[in-house]
Structure 1
């Protein structure tokens, strides 16, 4: 079963969207599985990277990148060390963490979203104050965090944007990750993690210096850096796959001949991100934004919606121009000049890009 439709929700969880693939892998998987894992480490890696099973079932790639990165991430989860996925915005950290949790535990929903206001209760536990006032401290009044639930159930828990969480809240994880226990002193008890428990955290390279992990906490993680796609072909493949999945979930009609515009979006993003044209001849200024693969996916998806609802269904330069402009010009003062220079020195002179140049020039500055 693919990633689209049939669930009655806008975005099914990974274990719902790819239930057919997970079931096929489980049926074909005859390799040793760690305690409470739904699949063996080999099958988890196959689920993420894609492949064809002995019975001919095709497993679609969820992550396009170096195989070794996935193997290290999966093997980390089979040890007593937690996994930290690190990278610049848009390198599929959240996507990879969700699919890892779905493949290992069959449940990707145990999640703590890190923000500057994330309280310690989100990591440890809280209280139902109505129950607390009525009956005092007791098991009925305890509200377990996703971390506590994962410890008790032997499953994977995810923490998004770990470095955005205040340092004192981060440090609540040290005992959990080192001792595999969560004390509840109010009840004179503790929750001890059972086999199968582990934690996947994500962090943004650009958040360094916001709430740096303490050395004590960092030692509890094995850090895996997710790079940007190494080649334009790999990035085009990623964007094409995700746009197709998202388009199906939104009931957008497939856009014929959309490959040319996807490649154009990827080319613009890579050139401005790298600060040099594809042929290496022209140095460019880079804008303040990340221009990530995730943003390219968003631009193309927006273009598909324009083509479907206000055009003839064919993805054209005018459908993606506004999205690219919005992604590049984040800081009007600094980025507008970068974009204008790129249009005049690169886009204007490039063969086959005249329609795109005109579409970009028509966008109000």
Structure 2
């Protein structure tokens, strides 16, 4: 029977040739083994053009063991009901909005949902302040347009149009960063399930299986609020921060391991001391109180998300690999923590120094961590 380690190794894209050189394979490629195993074991009803049933999609995200012993690795660590509601939404005629503070795995969940449902997570619109309407609707091949005038041959379909035509899942990342007038391009698509092409007097109608996943947060600067008309077209699912230290340590360790294998970094054992320290520091500064609830601390201006903890640990492993003995130590993560915490050089440095002196300095077993942080903070 396939054990957890074998399943993870296969799922992580044991390909050949050029596939092994890809820095970050798409979810449907990286976890192809798990998706195939789930499809083979899945005997439940599937919505039109879904590769898996809603139950199997939820199992793919949350992890589990199939009847044949195949281990499905968890992609998301959090309340099961949140995943179930998100999956169920995609089986209805309402679009899905994943909402949460930065670093709550919105993009990660969006990608894996699309991979599990339609086998294609690449129908993506990346939202920015400069995203044009054409990115959501369609563009033109201007050479053909000038030579022959408007025609379907000259039209270049965008990711949303392609998802509508093929009955797939389209993704819109950072929806609230897109200008409001461009956001509203989605209203007709989501309500009428059609995309007009006025230049040709035609329209593209969505086929069964089409849906859309958007992600958004309301903490970053430069956010454009969604209109009430657009928000009504979505079912909103809020992704929370990890509930416990253990959950967050598990998430960080898993993601660091996955990223580290892609760039040949040494493997940090799950629950390594430095990972737990980074997570503890981030949670205490984020919550404004120490883990035991006894000491209140000031919070810095940054979000100190799980994603930033992953970045700090990955950077620390790179330092340990290239300028150390390969073992992750306090000195390897100290600079990364300082960079994550001190975003405002004046106010955040005061917050960080007070936290070091009042909390870290007095904590048993943290002397080496305190010295390393003091050294880079000097």
- What TM-score, normalized to structure 1? 0.98
In structure 2, list runs of 5 or more residues that go unmatched: 1-9
Distance in 1 (alpha carbons) for counterparts of 2:58 and 2:154:
40
Alpha-carbon deviation of 1:334? 1.1
Residue 33 to residue 257, structure 1, CA distance change in 2 (3 Å): closer
Alpha-carbon deviation of 1:72? 0.1
For residue 97 of structure 2, give the secondary structure of its aligned residue in structure 1: strand
Counterpart among 346, 353, 356 of residue 343 in structure 1: 356
Residue 76 to residue 192, structure 1, CA distance change in 2 (3 Å): same
Does residue 334 of structure 2 align to residue 325 of structure 1? no
Does residue 12 of structure 2 align to residue 3 of structure 1? yes
Superposed, which structure 2 residues align to 1:179-328 within 5 Å?
Answer: 179-207=192-220, 210-255=223-268, 259-328=272-341
Asked if 2 retains the 8 angstrom alpha-carbon contact of 1:4 and 1:245, the reply is no
In structure 1, list runs of 5 or more residues that go unmatched: none
For residue 206 of structure 1, give the secondary structure of its aligned residue in structure 2: coil
Give the aligned partner of residue 152 of structure 1: 165
Distance in 2 (alpha carbons) for counterparts of 1:132 and 1:328:
51
Distance in 1 (alpha carbons) for counterparts of 2:213 and 2:268:
36
Distance in 2 (alpha carbons) for counterparts of 1:3 and 1:293:
22
Alpha-carbon deviation of 1:209? 7.7
1:252-280 alpha-carbon deviations (Å, 9 max, x no partner): 12245861111000000000000000111
Counterpart among 330, 344, 347 of residue 334 in structure 1: 347
Alpha-carbon deviation of 1:361? 1.0
Counterpart among 97, 102, 105 of residue 92 in structure 1: 105
Residue 5 to residue 246, structure 1, CA distance change in 2 (3 Å): farther
Distance in 2 (alpha carbons) for counterparts of 1:208 and 1:72:
29
Asked if 1 retains the 8 angstrom alpha-carbon contact of 2:177 and 2:222, the reply is no
Does residue 84 of structure 2 align to residue 75 of structure 1? no
Distance in 1 (alpha carbons) for counterparts of 2:53 and 2:13:
26
Distance in 1 (alpha carbons) for counterparts of 2:31 and 2:332:
30
Distance in 2 (alpha carbons) for counterparts of 1:257 and 1:64:
15
Does residue 109 of structure 2 align to residue 107 of structure 1? no
Question: How many residues end up aligned between the 2 structures?
Answer: 365
Does residue 43 of structure 2 align to residue 30 of structure 1? yes
Superposed, which structure 2 residues align to 1:348-363 within 5 Å?
Answer: 348-363=361-376
1:209-247 alpha-carbon deviations (Å, 9 max, x no partner): 831111110000000000000000100110111111111
1:50-84 alpha-carbon deviations (Å, 9 max, x no partner): 00000000000000000000000000000000000
Give the aligned partner of residue 55 of structure 1: 68
Distance in 1 (alpha carbons) for counterparts of 2:223 and 2:107:
19
* Pairwise CA RMSD: 1.2
Distance in 1 (alpha carbons) for counterparts of 2:351 and 2:13:
38
Give the aligned partner of residue 7 of structure 2: none
